[in-house]
């Protein structure tokens, strides 16, 4: 069997899922990922202590929130319906259906509503959509639900264009980094980056002497591309990052789905010039968590990802989903499909003649 250079990063919610994955045949990912937005600093440290003992030789990405906006931890789980009136606020208000965000985000929404008549907020990658209305108080922003659904704590809250640009780490991320840099297996992924100074600040916070600073530039950092950026801005991020993740969940909320398609079409051609590996993230096998089977479309897209030169993918819901069986099946399927799609495997497959013909066609196209 040929080597499969396509790497798999599997998101895990807890050590039980790590154990289940490690104990299963043929479902071993190359890296794990823990999203720090869903745990406290102490929970992250406890998890990493156990992880380090069990499988510290497998690097794990710690995903930092950066400038990503999320509903607060205190957000009650509720269902909102299309047409319903709700409010966006930072603390519960009696008699109103509240969507809780940081006070700074409420202020940002109020300012934005003053200058733009129609602002949309997308929650949980667009599963719930709000139209923000003219605010009459500085405590909340009224909104109408355009697309109803379940609202859960800590889900992403997207305003487009994304209103926060950082040049350094937030206080919360700083605390996570200081407490987790002692684990040699740790790598970092930074959400919603827009400025290379954020990456530099992260490496400086980790420091050269930290146990996880085992790479050429110190600690390993993946920049998560999730918002509208120019080619020059993306190149500048690529120049200081060890790899970049194209995060299509949030990017789809930021650009809209037709916008994502337009951006994506051009992005793949510019990608080889970034000078660092690019990983595909967000809804890679979106049908697996619920259905336990992927669509043909998802499988073909994985083959395209190999062809385009993505060096791997991040599995999110696919491996945190309640069904361990479906999580294992997702990892196995990515492995099987991306291995089968490697050029040297196609040569010896029943499609070898197709591959030879494809190479001839590509060479011919290059001449013109």
Ligand X SMILES: Nc1ncnc2c1ncn2[C@@H]1O[C@H](COP(=O)(O)OP(=O)(O)OP(=O)(O)O)[C@@H](O)[C@H]1O
Given the rule CB under 6 A, which residues bind ligand X? 11, 13, 35, 37-39, 63, 155-156, 191, 249-250, 316-317, 320
Residues 233, 228: Cα–Cα separation, whole Å = 10
Interhelix angle 41-55/15-22, rounded to 10 degrees, is 20
The answer to whether 249 contacts ligand CC(=O)C(=O)O (rule: CB under 6 A) is yes
348: burial class by Cβ within 10 Å (0-12, 13-18, 19+)? exposed
Answer left, alpha or beta for residue 126, where phi above 0 means left and psi between -120 and 50 means alpha.
left
Nearest-approach distance from CB 122 to ligand CC(=O)C(=O)O, in angstroms: 12
Q: In the complex with ligand CC(=O)C(=O)O, which residue's Cβ is closer, 62 or 110?
A: 62
Nearest-approach distance from CB 189 to ligand X, in angstroms: 8
Residue 248 binds which of ligand CC(=O)C(=O)O, ligand X, none (CB < 5-8 A, kind-dependent): ligand CC(=O)C(=O)O
The answer to whether 247 contacts ligand CC(=O)C(=O)O (rule: CB under 6 A) is yes
Q: Interface with ligand CC(=O)C(=O)O by CB under 6 A: which range of 145-153, 177-185, 248-256, 342-350?
A: 248-256
How many C-beta atoms lie closer than 10 Å to residue 15's C-beta? 17
The answer to whether 314 contacts ligand CC(=O)C(=O)O (rule: CB under 6 A) is yes
Residue 38 binds which of ligand CC(=O)C(=O)O, ligand X, none (CB < 5-8 A, kind-dependent): ligand X
The answer to whether 250 contacts ligand CC(=O)C(=O)O (rule: CB under 6 A) is yes
Residues 194, 197: Cα–Cα separation, whole Å = 9
Q: In the complex with ligand X, which residue's Cβ is closer, 4 or 37?
A: 37
The answer to whether 187 contacts ligand CC(=O)C(=O)O (rule: CB under 6 A) is no
Q: Which of 226, 286, 298, 318 binds ligand CC(=O)C(=O)O (CB under 6 A)?
A: 226
Write the interaction track for ligand CC(=O)C(=O)O spanning residues 315-354; mark x where CB under 6 A is met and - where it is not: -x--------------------------------------
CA nearest neighbour of 161 among 72, 268, 283, 250: 250
Q: In the complex with ligand X, which residue's Cβ is closer, 142 or 249?
A: 249
The partner residues of 99 in beta bridges, in order of sequence, read 88
Q: Interface with ligand CC(=O)C(=O)O by CB under 6 A: which range of 131-139, 212-220, 242-250, 304-312?
A: 242-250
How many C-beta atoms lie closer than 10 Å to residue 152's C-beta? 15
Q: In the complex with ligand CC(=O)C(=O)O, which residue's Cβ is closer, 97 or 326?
A: 326
Q: Interface with ligand CC(=O)C(=O)O by CB under 6 A: which range of 107-115, 246-254, 268-276, 300-308?
A: 246-254
The partner residues of 142 in beta bridges, in order of sequence, read 87
Nearest-approach distance from CB 10 to ligand X, in angstroms: 10
Q: In the complex with ligand X, which residue's Cβ is closer, 140 or 192?
A: 192
| Residues 276-305 contacting ligand CC(=O)C(=O)O, CB under 6 A | 281-282
Rg (the chain; Cα; Å) = 21
> Which spans of this chain sit near ligand CC(=O)C(=O)O (rule: CB under 6 A)?
224, 226, 247-250, 281-282, 314, 316
């Amino acid at each position: 069997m040929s080597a499969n250079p396509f790497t798999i990063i599997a998101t895990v919610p807890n050590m039980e899922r790590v154990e289940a994955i490690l104990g299963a045949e043929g479902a071993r990912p190359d890296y794990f990922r823990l999203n720090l937005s869903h745990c406290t600093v102490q929970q992250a440290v406890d998890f990493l202590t156990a992880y380090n003992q069990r499988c510290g030789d497998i690097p794990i990405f710690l995903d930092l929130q950066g400038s990503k906006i999320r509903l607060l931890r205190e957000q009650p789980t509720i269902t909102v319906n299309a047409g319903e009136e709700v409010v966006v606020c930072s603390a519960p208000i009696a008699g109103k259906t509240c969507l809780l965000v940081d006070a700074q985000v409420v202020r940002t929404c109020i300012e934005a509503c003053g200058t733009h008549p129609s602002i949309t907020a997308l929650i949980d990658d667009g599963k719930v959509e709000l139209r923000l209305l003219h605010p009459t108080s500085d405590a909340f922003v009224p909104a109408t639900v355009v697309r109803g659904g379940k609202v859960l704590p800590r889900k992403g809250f997207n305003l487009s264009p994304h209103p926060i640009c950082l040049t350094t780490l937030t206080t919360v991320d700083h605390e996570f980094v200081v407490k987790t840099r002692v684990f040699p297996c740790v790598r970092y992924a930074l959400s919603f980056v827009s400025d290379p100074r954020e990456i530099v600040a992260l490496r400086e916070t980790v420091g050269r002497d930290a146990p996880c600073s085992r790479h050429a530039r110190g600690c390993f950092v993946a920049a998560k591309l999730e918002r509208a950026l120019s080619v020059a801005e993306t190149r500048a991020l690529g120049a200081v990052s060890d790899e970049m993740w194209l995060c299509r969940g949030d990017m789809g909320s930021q650009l809209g789905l037709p916008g994502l398609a337009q951006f994506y079409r051009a992005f793949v051609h510019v990608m080889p010039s970034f000078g660092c590996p690019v990983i595909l993230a967000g809804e890679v096998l979106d049908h697996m968590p619920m259905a336990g089977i992927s669509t043909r479309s998802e499988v073909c897209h994985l083959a395209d990802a190999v062809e385009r030169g993505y060096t791997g993918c991040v599995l999110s819901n696919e491996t945190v989903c309640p069904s361990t069986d479906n999580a294992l099946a997702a990892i196995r399927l990515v492995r099987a499909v991306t291995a089968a799609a490697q050029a040297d495997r196609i040569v010896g497959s029943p499609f070898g003649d197709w591959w030879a013909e494809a190479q001839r066609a590509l060479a011919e196209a290059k001449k013109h």
